[in-house]
Copies of this chain bind each other. A is one copy, B any other.
Amino acid sequence: MNSRPVYYLGPQGSFTHAAAKQFLPRIMARAAASAPSEDSESTMLRPAEDVTQILEAVNAGQAFGVIAWENNVEGYVVPNIDGLIDAHNVVGCGRLSVAIEFDAFMLPDDASEPKEVTAHPHGLAQCRAFTRQLGLREVPAASNAAACRDITSGQIALGPRICGELYGLVTKQRGVQDYQGSRTDFLLLAPRDEARSLMLGDDKASTEYESVIAFIPLSTGAGVLAGLLDLLRDAGLNMTSFISRPIKGHDGTYSFIATIDAAPWQHDLKTALENIIRRGDWVKTLAVYARQERPDPPVTSWMLPDGGAGGHGSLATHETLTGLQAQFM
């Protein structure tokens, strides 16, 4: 049981691999608590060819898994949401954030002047200032990790920090990405009946939780969504994210994925979920994990985009309302 692997989206050296490394101590600690093990990081962490393979292995109770969940620039990794909705025995039980930073690597003992830069086209696009500064020619690769693995003399490969040690490369420069501050959140996945112990924070009594819940309204008609949210509001629940998605790609059908500040076994959320099920709607818990501290800034006017209408106080001025209408007249 304790020797089950942790699958991540390969190849070795991906950002998901870096996330899996960070999750590993928690999984090993849990395994050690039930039975001591000789397992090492290299035997525990295994690259998967695609996310479907990860979900199937966890669903069958044969593995843990790590998947990308949300990037602060690109938004949710929607196929992974859809996959998790469909994997009935899989639940997220941990969440952590990895900075999307690229280091510039070369072969050890390569004293040549670099002429080329190689990475996945996304990696190349994210490090263009560096590339231009050095006057390098871009060589696209199938992945950043593949670029680091297959690097040749005279090339600079761009990839996550983890690639340096994996492929025995020398770091020429750290953090060469154009945009500072991009990060991706990853979920740790476990079979549903084993997830609970991995969800707990260090201090179990005081842990605050966050849950990701999928809803499919089967009641129809106008205001279905508003009615659903009324039930969450009336339970006093705080939501931090909410999106709609067609069910399995069926145009015109709707599921809703909400991130809520509570665990489904806590009174308020439990009551709300029971009421939603009583309405006849479908509910599934996709993930529960210990909540991280997060900023809670006030929305100030400098944050507002240019243009638009309103936002000037509790009562909009006549000018503002006129402006709204003027947008289309």
Residues of A within 8 A of B (CB): 72-76, 78-79, 85-89, 91, 120-121, 124, 138, 140-143, 181, 192, 196, 214, 216-220, 222-223, 225-227, 229-230, 232-233, 236-254, 256, 263-265, 270, 273-274, 276-285, 288, 294-299, 303-316, 320-321, 324-325, 327-329
Whether A233 pairs with B242 at a CB distance below 8 angstroms is no
Whether B192 pairs with A327 at a CB distance below 8 angstroms is yes
B residues within 8 A CB of A192?
Answer: 307, 327
- Which of chain B's residues has its CB closest to A298's CB? B220
Whether B250 pairs with A303 at a CB distance below 8 angstroms is yes
B residues within 8 A CB of A310?
Answer: 218, 276-277, 280-283
Given A79-B74, A305-B85, check contact A280 B311 (CB 8 Å): yes
Whether B309 pairs with A284 at a CB distance below 8 angstroms is yes
- Closest chain-B Cβ to A242's Cβ sits at a distance in Å of 5
Whether A328 pairs with B251 at a CB distance below 8 angstroms is no
B residues within 8 A CB of A140?
Answer: 120-121, 140-142
- Closest chain-B Cβ to A289's Cβ sits at a distance in Å of 12
- Closest chain-B Cβ to A14's Cβ sits at a distance in Å of 13
Given A278-B315, A310-B281, A321-B274, check contact A299 B243 (CB 8 Å): no
Oligomer: number of copies: 2
- Closest chain-B Cβ to A210's Cβ sits at a distance in Å of 13
Whether A242 pairs with B243 at a CB distance below 8 angstroms is yes
Query: Which of B233, B265, B295 interacts with A222 by CB under 8 Å?
Result: B233
Whether B121 pairs with A324 at a CB distance below 8 angstroms is no
A329 to B196, CA, bound (A): 8
B residues within 8 A CB of A285?
Answer: 327-328
B residues within 8 A CB of A143?
Answer: 121
Query: Which of B196, B219, B274 interacts with A324 by CB under 8 Å?
Result: B274
Query: Which of B225, B236, B282, B299 interacts with A308 by CB under 8 Å?
Result: B282
A220 to B254, CA, bound (A): 27
- Which of chain B's residues has its CB closest to A238's CB? B222
- Which of chain B's residues has its CB closest to A265's CB? B328
A304 to B279, CA, bound (A): 16
5 A-B pairs closest in CB distance: A88-B307, A282-B311, A75-B78, A284-B308, A223-B233
Given A140-B142, A264-B327, check contact A216 B304 (CB 8 Å): yes
Whether A321 pairs with B277 at a CB distance below 8 angstroms is yes
Given A229-B226, A315-B280, check contact A324 B273 (CB 8 Å): yes
Whether A304 pairs with B324 at a CB distance below 8 angstroms is no
- Closest chain-B Cβ to A262's Cβ sits at a distance in Å of 12
- Closest chain-B Cβ to A65's Cβ sits at a distance in Å of 16
B residues within 8 A CB of A223?
Answer: 229, 233
A242 to B313, CA, bound (A): 25
Whether A311 pairs with B142 at a CB distance below 8 angstroms is no
A321 to B274, CA, bound (A): 7
Whether B236 pairs with A305 at a CB distance below 8 angstroms is no
- Which of chain B's residues has its CB closest to A214's CB? B308
B residues within 8 A CB of A325?
Answer: 265, 270
- Closest chain-B Cβ to A196's Cβ sits at a distance in Å of 6
- Closest chain-B Cβ to A181's Cβ sits at a distance in Å of 7
